[in-house]
Structure 1
Amino acid sequence: MLRRGRRPRQGFLGVEGEAESPRRRGRTAVLVAVILTAVIVGVSAFSVGRLSTLADPMPVSTSAEAGFARDMQVHHDQGVQLGLLIRDRSIDEAVRLLGYDIVTTQGQQSGQMFGWLSVWGLSQAPPEASMTWMTLPGSTDGTHDNAGAHQPGDPMPGLATDAQMASLTAASGVEADRIFLTLMIAHHEGAIDMAEAVLDRTGNSVVRSFATAVVASQQSEIKLMTEMLAARA
């Protein structure tokens, strides 16, 4: 019970003590379910990777595994930046919760890939232009092989431009929500493109588990964000 003379406390998900509508509870429940799925998939991939590290040969500095680890760190770090921007600009609890999840999940995964390079004894700095590893021929079944679709030094797929980042920075409220969801859908699609590319170029069990988890979790979030964007059109 709220004491007389005190204002309701505003929490991360809304006003304390305020009854939620069934529709609002339903949207929040769907979002939480997607986030929990992403966390479970990510933890499973991390655990499998830890157990199988000793069985995998060490990648070389110009390998697809090393290139993926470096470039996906950059990609994920921008995802964290986008999540932080919307957290401070949105008044929509569902959008802010999604942004917070992206910040924590992609920040942890970026650190994980930093750790790979350290364990492999490789430099964090790339010895060649970004995206070079995506021009390597596929080395597995070629299901998603896209050699030739990218050129060394090309922008990473789905990476927001400086102008797009500035647009989100200047926005607020529903306008910021729309910009964020649009940029993050494209960002996730680009991450899936990169994850599928490394799956066609590596037999390393750590990298394969991680990339498979990225594809599954980000496809799920794309579906959710597409629905969220349509509801805010």
Structure 2
Amino acid sequence: MDEVTEAEETAPARPPRSRPVVIAASVIAVLLVGAVIGMFLTQRAMNSDEQATPGAGSVEVGFAQDMSVHHLQAVTMANWARDHSTDPQVRQLAFDIQSTQLEQVGRMKGWLMLWGQPEQTTGAYMTWMSAGGHEMAGMSATSSSSDAPMPGMATNAELAKLRSLSGHELDVYFLQLMLRHHEGGTGMAQYAHDHTSVAAVKTLTESILESQGAEMTLMKQMLTARGAQPL
């Protein structure tokens, strides 16, 4: 048997690293990676295409500002479900949503930094979706009340209800809220995709439409399997 030195016997045990610190560090890392990718891809596209830098009020700036806010609520809901659900399928979906959308937020914030624009709009949300006379019909229908600032987003009361639930009820309500959230987000992404000429924005919106489209199909199947319907 190895001898234990007196120093080893008296050394205080190293406290385990707290989970919140680890999670916070991971979140920051993902955002930074996304920001670097966003700045690199956007700068390369602007240099190659000699495109003008998007300005305040443009579809590109408005989309990046508003979709970042939209995504961050999805991340909040996904983090809660991942930490409080006991269903492995729900927890895996929540993890996938959280990691994907955090990286995308970092990318959009990188664009805004490169374009010299604030991270959040200083006026009303969604004004970029009516720029140039274009209108997005039916978008407001995906938001349940004026307490939800953008299509598909949960209200404060709905978020409080989500945090009050557990077990099967938590899983179903999370899937219902996130499905509606994705429906609103994909409408925004489709509009941006159809009205931008910036390659980096088109690439990201295509990715959002593809990934969230697949997740919406999955969530509908998961709700059916749990005897529930979309909101």
TM over 0.5: yes
Cα pair 1:168 1:180 within 8 Å, conserved: yes
Say whether the 8 Å CA contact 1:138–1:200 is kept in structure 2: no
The alpha-carbon deviation at position 52 of structure 1 amounts to 2.1
Matched, 1:101 2:91: no
Matched, 1:129 2:124: yes
Distance 1:117 1:100 in 2: 26
> Whose helix proportion is higher, 1 or 2?
2
Aligned-pair CA distance for 1:148? 8.9
User: What is the CA deviation profile of residues 18-53 of structure 1, one whole-angstrom value per residue up to 9, with x for unaligned ones?
Assistant: xxxxxxxxxxxxxxxxxxxxxxxx9xx979657424
Could you tell me which residue of structure 2 aligns to residue 192 of structure 1? Answer: 186
Q: TM-score, normalised by structure 1?
A: 0.72
Q: 1:231 to 1:124 in 2, by over 3 A?
A: same
Aligned-pair CA distance for 1:201: 1.9
TM-score, reference length from structure 2: 0.72
Question: Does structure 1 retain, via aligned residues, the 8 Å contact 2:62–2:126?
Answer: yes
Identify the residue that residue 222 of structure 2 maps to in structure 1: 228
1:204/1:118 Cα in 2 relative to 1: closer, same or farther (>3 Å)? Answer: same
Name 1:118's counterpart in structure 2: 113
How far apart, in 2, do the equivalents of 1:124 and 1:201 lie?
21
Partner of 1:12: none
For 1:74-111, what per-residue CA distance to the aligned partner results, in whole angstroms no more than 9, with x for missing partners?
A: 00000100101101221110100110111111111111
In the aligned structure 2, how far is the partner of 1:117 from the partner of 1:48?
A: 13
Q: Which residue of 2 aligns with 1:33?
A: none
Counterparts of 1:198 and 1:121, CA distance in 2: 20
Contact kept, 8 Å, 1:185 with 1:225, in 2: the verdict is: yes
Q: Distance in 1 between matches of 2:87 and 2:212?
A: 21
SS in 2 for 1:68: helix
Residues 134 and 147, structure 1, Cα contact 8 Å, conserved in 2? no
Q: CA deviation at 1:128?
A: 2.5
CA distance in 2, matches of 1:184, 1:64: 25
Indicate how the Cα distance of structure 1 residues 103 and 148 shifts in structure 2: closer, same or farther if over 3 A, else same: closer
Shift in CA distance, 158/148, structure 1 to aligned 2, threshold 3 Å:
closer
Question: Which of these residues, 22, 40, 45, is aligned with residue 52 of structure 1?
Answer: 45
Please identify the structure whose Cα radius of gyration is greater. 2
Identical-pair percentage? 42
1:146 paired residue among 136, 147, 157: 136
Match of 1:10 in 2: none
Q: Is the 8 A contact 1:48 1:209 kept in 2?
A: no
Structure 2: stretches of 5+ with no match in the other structure: 1-33, 141-145
Q: Which ranges of structure 1 fall in alignment gaps of 5 or more residues?
A: 1-41, 140-144
2: CA distance, partners of 1:137 / 1:124: 23
State the partner residue of 1:210: 204
Provide the residue aligned with 1:32 in structure 2.
Answer: none
User: RMSD between aligned alpha carbons?
Assistant: 2.4
Q: Does 1:179 align with 2:173?
A: yes
Return the alpha-carbon distance in structure 2 between the equivalents of residues 223 and 106 of structure 1.
18
Distance 2:83 2:139 in 1: 36
Distance 1:187 1:120 in 2: 28
Question: Number of paired residues?
Answer: 183
Amino acid at match of 1:172: S
Mapped partners of 1:184, 1:138: distance in 2: 30
